[in-house]
Structures are given as structure tokens and as C-alpha cells.
Structure 1
Amino acid sequence: MQSPKFKILITGGAGFIGSNLSEYFLDKGHEVICLDNFATGHRYNIEHLLNNINYTLIEGDIRDFSDCQKAVKGVDYVLHQAALGSVPRSIIDPITTNDVNVSGFLNVLSAAKQANVKRFIFAASSSTYGDSESLPKIEEIIGKPLSPYAITKYVNELYADIFSKTYGIETIGLRYFNVFGRKQDPEGAYAAVIPKFVMQFMKHESPIINGDGNYSRDFTYIDNVIQMNELAMLTQDSRAINTVFNTAFGDRTTLNDLIKKLQFELSQFDPKIAEVEIVYGPNRVGDIPHSLASIDKAKKFLGYDPKFSMQEGLKESVKWYWENLK
């Protein structure tokens, strides 16, 4: 049996994005370490990986520095996905959000520096653009954050930059734009909009859109995000190091369009879904009205070439939800 190519630590490896990354890199012949405390991740996302000789689960918390030290031992690359997501959650509980997203981030980054990892790639966020009204969003132009969550993700970028300049550790931040796809959790108060709408439609319940449905997002399918993580990990272009990249498809969809497309795709499985009524509610505090990424920088320096449009990703996702959660 061939020895693994690289040893990769994926924090938050039992979560939606982390578990997809784990599967992908294991399939590529790498060794994967997963660090997760199952606060938002799920054991069932990684159950099928536990018998893989190249897979190690460390049940631990990024807020515990010793857990981070244990996880980075002998690691080549860190893909830091662990975080408490959700703007509304951060508004309700800014202290825990800061604790996990800032102190936890600093723990993993410090442990990675100590262990001399080759590169530290981390999940940044489009929320960093804040109140900037310019579209498309270009990495170098940001506004003021609109939520505690957005502040924490921007602080991550600042810490990564300082660590890169001060200690020489290579860092790359990936500003995720509304990632969706297989394994995204539809349950809970802070579920992302696509899986939440899917589950409501499948139960013939009316989905509630916040606002008039004209807010728009750059919905980004999981496989495009996996591609970006791999490119960030393997790039040899020095101009790509110690910077951030938008991780998106580069197109935007209003919530009204999204819900129509979802309803159409799901009604192929269950015609009754076509009759479910859509309900409108108030806007959410801290929401950015419009989000659209420029992906020119990622194309130029990383050779990024997203394969899945929102429509193609939606078709794949709906099929997965129908087969796995019905």
C-alpha cells in the first residue's frame, strides 16, 4: 500500500465543509486528522471514515490549546474550518462566538506555528465585506462589519497576516460565500437557508423568506470550495501566500429565484411541493443585502475554475437530500 502523500489536519472535520474535505483528501491518498468537539458537527458525517487506516479522529476543542497541539503533531497542512457560524447566533451570544472563532483560531494558528506546518489555510467569510456596497466584492475593498460573527472572521484575517509577517508561517484565507451542498445540516435554529428550505418543502411546510426576497447571494456549491482548498494547499505561487481569496462561483441569485428553483427541483420528486405557499417575514438584523464575489484574483493566482453553477449545485444537493433525508 502506498504511503500517504501529506498529513492534513482538518479542524471542524465532522461539520458540513470539513467532512466533505475529509472524504476528498482521503480519496486522494492523504492522511487526514479530524479535530472536532461535535458542537455543530455530526458523528454520522464521518462514521464511514473511522475504519480508514489514514483517518484519525481527535475529539477535542479548539479552545483548548493542548488539544490543538496534539492535533497538529507531524502535520503538513492545516485546513481550519472549525467555527461557530451564523450571524443571528453571534448577535444572541457574542461571547461564545468570539471565544470559539477568535481564541480558538489563535490556538490552532499558534499550535501550527509551533509545529512548523507547511501552510495554514483557513475558512474566512464574505461577512467581512460588511456595509461595503460595492459589487462585485473585491478582496481589497471591505466595509465595517455588521455583526459580531463578521468581526470574528475579520480578526482571523488580521491574526493570520500578523503571524505570516512576524513568524513566517504561510497562511491563506478563503472567504466563503454562502456554501451549500451534501451534508449541510437542515436542523436547528441556525440552519443555512438552502437545507432549511429543502426540509420545509419536503414536509409540505411553507418556507419563510426574511424580507421581500430581493436580497441576493453568491451561492457556492461545496465542490467549488473543495477545489479552492486544494489549490490553496498546493500552490507554489508566492503571490498567493499570506493573502485572502473569495471562494464563490461569481454569480448572484435572489432569494425569490432560489426558492423557485428549489421548489421546481423538489417537485420533480414530489409534485405536491409545487403547491406549497411561500411566506415572507421581516428582514434579519445584521444581514448584508447583496453579495456577489469577484473571483478574478483566485483565477489569476490559484488557477481556480469553479465547475458547479448554483443551478447545477442545487440539482445535486436536492437529489442528495431526497435520497438521504426523506
Structure 2
Amino acid sequence: MQEILTQLDGKKVLITGGAGFIGSNLCEVLIENGAEVACLDNFATGHKYNLDAIISHPNFTLIEGDIRDITTCHQAVSNVDYVLHQAALGSVPRSIKDPATTNEVNVGGFLNMLIASKDKGIKRFVYAASSSTYGDSVGLPKQEDIIGKPLSPYAITKYVNELYADVFHKTYGIDCIGLRYFNVFGRKQDPNGAYAAVIPKFTKLLMNHESPVMNGDGTYSRDFTYIDNVIQMNIRAMLTQDKEAMNTVYNVAYGERTDLNELVAVLKTELGQFDEAITTVEVKYGSKRAGDVPHSLASIDKAKSRLGYDPQYSIKDGLKEAMSWYWKNLK
């Protein structure tokens, strides 16, 4: 990881959704390693406090705006060389409840950013894709060239992103790399709201001695991926000079599967170091959630061979770091 961080000095980068969980972590790491960073966010799901550590840095610029506005997109890509597109409305349940807005942001906004990047001659467009693209494909581990039918409006939007990126490269010559995130977790991930991800949501409940409610019997499994692994992949995708590595998609994961029962056991163990009573909190079980994929496990061979991806954090290593952060910041 260290060898690629040294290459960030002086790079001019726009991070859309830069006040969100993944985006704000990217902003910090790039700023800390000498890059000039512009952040575009409308704060629909991101938070200004995520940027507190860098907001006054001379190499950081905050642009408050919406990717659904093409003028804003053109302004945001001015004077940058690279775009790390993280902005999106996440959550399968949110997309089922409101497919129209999810489409406006995730497809319309994505297309605006591609158009603006093409118009301004951006060197590289790296974008957040999603493991939801695998849909009803049952094979494990998930390989990038084998997908099924999407199971939610959210999954459709993320697959459309991949199609647009491919067409824009072939039609306009812009280099694009898609990163299919697998259940990212870590510091700054918001535990609040109806669409909070499972790890921060369960963490907050356990810290309050409240019972988490699982969807189903807890045997659904995921390839949970710590934020620092995701940061590494974004930087590698942004900086690679290997033409064979560009204009494709990569799984971003650790390559191990953990079911929800196992996850909660680790959460309770790690948090129990700070408050022993957490280890006795019981878990409740509810109905299965519409649009959920039962199991998810990534093959990361392509990312390793083409981009040199070397994930440093297993789920247990990542949860140890994350639980320490939540304990300090939620208490």
C-alpha cells in the first residue's frame, strides 16, 4: 500500500459523494498523501462533520451541489485529472420504496458525471459499482464476467452504470474502471436512519444494550470488506498505467464469507472488551427482506493479477479497528 501512496502527491482528484462514508475516508487519505482534492456532495446521505479533519486544508475544496445538475458536474470536474465517483443513493430497501429517486441519482447523476468528465478530458473515471449486480446468479465465488438478473431497482441502476461506462469508453475514449463493492464497513459509516448498513446499525444497538433484529435466521452470508481495502483499490484503479487493467470492472472484497450469526458473535466479542454486558445481549430474528441475495462471496483474483490488489484487513481485523472507532465516537 505504501508504494502507491507516494504516487498521490500533486494529483488533482474530484471525489463525488465525498462527505459520505467511503468518500470522506478517500478524501482524508488522498489529502494526507499530498493530493489536491475537490469534494462534491449534496449532503443527502453524507455529513459535513465527516470532513472536519480536512475542511480547512489548503489542498481541499468543498463543492456543495447535486450530480443531477449537469452544470454543477461540469464545474466540479474543472481543474481535476481524476474522478472517483462515489455518489449514489445506496440501499436495496430504499430503492424498492422509491425507485424513481434512486434512478435519478444513480443513473441520471452518473450519466451527468460521465458527460462532464468526457467534455473536460478527464484522465480516469473510477466509479463505485456494486456486488448487487450479480443478482440471482447462484455460483460462488462471484466472478466478474458471470452475472445474473438484478433483484432490485438499486441493482439495476448499478448495472446500468457499468454499461454506460463501457459505452463511453468505446465511443469517446474515456478510461473507466468500475469497482464492485462487497458490503463495505468501517469508520464513519453512519449507524442512524432507516437504511443504515448492518454493521453500524447492529453496533449502535449492542452498545445501547438493545437487541439487533436479523432478517431471516442469520445464515445469510456476506463478503464483508473493510474500508482500507476499498481505499487501496480506488487508488490502484486511479493510478494504474496498464492499459489491460482499464475499462473493466473488479470485485472489491476480502474473499471470505461470514454469516450474520458469526458477524454478531464477533461484534459482541469486540465490543465486550469495552462493556462486558454487551456479550449478553440477545439477538432477535425477523422475516427475510425483499431483494436480498442469500449469499455473497467474491473472487478477487482479477483485482490481484491486474491491479496488484493486496487486501490488508480480514473481517476480524477490520471489525477490531471499527469497533474501537465506534466506541470512541458513539459514546
What is the RMSD computed on CA atoms of the aligned residues?
0.8
SS in structure 1 of the partner of residue 249 of structure 2 = strand
Q: Deviations over 1:257-293 (max 9, x none)?
A: 0000001111110011011110000000000000000
| Equivalent position to 2:242, from 237, 243, 257 | 237
Q: What amino acid maps onto 1:269 in structure 2?
A: F
| Equivalent position to 1:80, from 73, 85, 103 | 85
Partner of 1:248: 253
Partner of 2:153: 148
| Equivalent position to 1:136, from 141, 158, 161 | 141
- Give the Cα–Cα distance (whole angstroms) in 1 for the partners of residues 215 and 9 of structure 2: 46
Partner of 2:182: 177
Summarize the alignment of residues 1-326 of structure 1 with structure 2, pairs less than 5 Å apart: 5-326=10-331
Residue pair 1:217, 1:292 contacting (<8 A) in 2 also? yes
SS in structure 2 of the partner of residue 289 of structure 1 = coil
Q: What amino acid maps onto 2:222 in structure 1?
A: R
Q: Deviations over 1:128-178 (max 9, x none)?
A: 000000000000000000000000000000000000000000000000000
SS in structure 1 of the partner of residue 10 of structure 2 = coil
Shift of residue 48 of structure 1? Answer: 2.4
Shift of residue 236 of structure 1? Answer: 1.1
- Give the Cα–Cα distance (whole angstroms) in 2 for the partners of residues 324 and 159 of structure 1: 39
Shift of residue 47 of structure 1? Answer: 2.1
Shift of residue 106 of structure 1? Answer: 0.3
Q: Deviations over 1:218-248 (max 9, x none)?
A: 0000000000001001111111111000000
Query: Where in structure 1 are there 5+ consecutive unaligned residues?
Result: none
Q: What amino acid maps onto 2:56 in structure 1?
A: N
Q: Deviations over 1:178-235 (max 9, x none)?
A: 0000000000000000000000000000000100100000000000000000100111
- Give the Cα–Cα distance (whole angstroms) in 2 for the partners of residues 282 and 240 of structure 1: 42
- Give the Cα–Cα distance (whole angstroms) in 1 for the partners of residues 226 and 111 of structure 2: 28
- Give the Cα–Cα distance (whole angstroms) in 2 for the partners of residues 297 and 263 of structure 1: 34
- Give the Cα–Cα distance (whole angstroms) in 2 for the partners of residues 194 and 241 of structure 1: 32
Query: Where in structure 2 are there 5+ consecutive unaligned residues?
Result: 1-7
Residue pair 1:32, 1:55 contacting (<8 A) in 2 also? yes
- Give the Cα–Cα distance (whole angstroms) in 1 for the partners of residues 116 and 328 of structure 2: 40
Task: Give the 3 Å change call, closer, same or farther, for CA 249–4 of structure 1 in structure 2.
Answer: closer
Shift of residue 4 of structure 1? Answer: 5.3
- Give the Cα–Cα distance (whole angstroms) in 1 for the partners of residues 39 and 221 of structure 2: 34
For this pair of structures, how many residues does the alignment match?
324
- Give the Cα–Cα distance (whole angstroms) in 1 for the partners of residues 306 and 222 of structure 2: 24
- Give the Cα–Cα distance (whole angstroms) in 2 for the partners of residues 32 and 231 of structure 1: 17
Residue pair 1:14, 1:38 contacting (<8 A) in 2 also? yes
Please, what TM-score do these two structures have when normalized by structure 1?
Answer: 0.99
Shift of residue 28 of structure 1? Answer: 0.9
Residue pair 1:209, 1:280 contacting (<8 A) in 2 also? yes
- Give the Cα–Cα distance (whole angstroms) in 1 for the partners of residues 177 and 279 of structure 2: 43
User: Structure 1: which 4+ aligned runs deviate by more than 4 Å?
Assistant: none
Residue pair 1:8, 1:30 contacting (<8 A) in 2 also? yes
SS in structure 2 of the partner of residue 142 of structure 1 = coil
- Give the Cα–Cα distance (whole angstroms) in 2 for the partners of residues 194 and 141 of structure 1: 28
Overall identity of the aligned pairs, in %:
70
Residue pair 1:4, 1:54 contacting (<8 A) in 2 also? no
